[in-house]
Structure 1
Amino acid sequence: MANLRVHRVAEQMKKEMGDIIAHRLKDPRVGFVTVTGVDVTGDLQDATVYVSVLGDEEKKAATLEGLEKAKGFIRSEIGKRIRLRKTPEIQFKFDQSIEYGSHIDRLINDLHHRDQ
C-alpha cells in the first residue's frame, strides 16, 4: 500500500515539476529542461528529480545552477499543488540515459556505414 502511494507521489511530482519548470521559472539559465523521472524515498522526505537538458556541458551546468537556486520556489509550488504533510526535499540530477542512448545509436550508425 505504501509503495503504491510513493509511486503515485513520484508521478504527480514529475508532472507538476515539469509544468513548474516550463511555465513558472523565470531564470534565464534554465533552458529546455525535461523532467525524466522522480524517485521519492519511502518516508516521502526526499525526492531525486532526474532532468535532461538540451545543450552543451556549459549549458547543463548553468541550468543545474538555476534549478538549485530555484529549489525553494519549486518546493513551495509542489507543496501547493500536492497535498502532503511535508513536501519532500528536492535534489536535482542529470539523467544520462538519453545521452547514453544517443551515443550508442551513433556508434551503431557508424558501424553500419563502415560496413557498407
Structure 2
Amino acid sequence: MSLRATRVGEQMKKELSDIIGRKLKDPRIGFVTVTDVRVTGDLQQAKVYISVLGDEEQKKNTLKGLAKATGFIRSEIGQRIRLRKTPEIYFEIDETIDYGQRIESLIKQISEEKEHKEE
C-alpha cells in the first residue's frame, strides 16, 4: 500500500468514526468502532473494518444499515476529504478482536488447568 493510500485510509478512519457515531440515525446500526481502513493504491476502493458490540444478529443488522447508508457516507467523506474521486466503500466485520479474545481465553484456560494439576 502506498504512503498516500495509507494517509487517506487514516483520514477516512477518523472521519468515518465521526460520521457513523454522530450522523447516522438508522436503528439497525449498533455501537460501532472503526478499527481500520484499507485503501487500494489507486484510491478507488476502501475496505472499512468495523467492530460491533453485540451478537451475530446485531453485527448482521449493523452491516445492513451501513450498506444502506453507504451513499450518504461517501458523500460526507467526499465533502470532508479533498480527493478527485471518493473511494467506493465496503464494510467488513473485523474478526481480529474476537480472534484475540479467543486466544486470550484459551491461554487463561490452559494456565488455570496447569495450576490445578500442580496443586
**TM-score interval, smaller chain:** over 0.9
Gaps of 5+ in 1: none
SS of 1:23's partner is helix
Deviation at 1:5, TM superposition (A): 1.2
Which residue in the other structure is 1:87 paired with? Answer: 86
Distance 2:40 2:57 in 1: 30
Which residue in the other structure is 2:32 paired with? Answer: 33
Gaps of 5+ in 2: none
SS of 1:30's partner is coil
- Please report the TM-score for the alignment, with normalisation by the length of structure 1: 0.96
The amino acid of 1:111's aligned partner reads: I
Map 1:64-75 → 2, pairs under 5 A: 64-75=63-74
The amino acid of 1:56's aligned partner reads: D
Deviation at 1:114, TM superposition (A): 1.4
| Cα displacement string for residues 26-71 of structure 1 (whole angstroms, at most 9, x for unaligned residues) | 0111111010101111111110000011110000000000000010
Deviation at 1:11, TM superposition (A): 0.4
Report how many residues are paired. Answer: 115
Distance 2:108 2:91 in 1: 32
Deviation at 1:75, TM superposition (A): 0.5
Which residue in the other structure is 1:104 paired with? Answer: 103
Which residue in the other structure is 1:76 paired with? Answer: 75
Distance 1:22 1:109 in 2: 34
Identity %: 64
CA RMSD in angstroms comes to: 1.0
Runs of 4 or more, structure 1, over 4 Å off, are none
- Between structure 1 and structure 2, the one with the greater Rg is 2
- Please report the TM-score for the alignment, with normalisation by the length of structure 2: 0.94
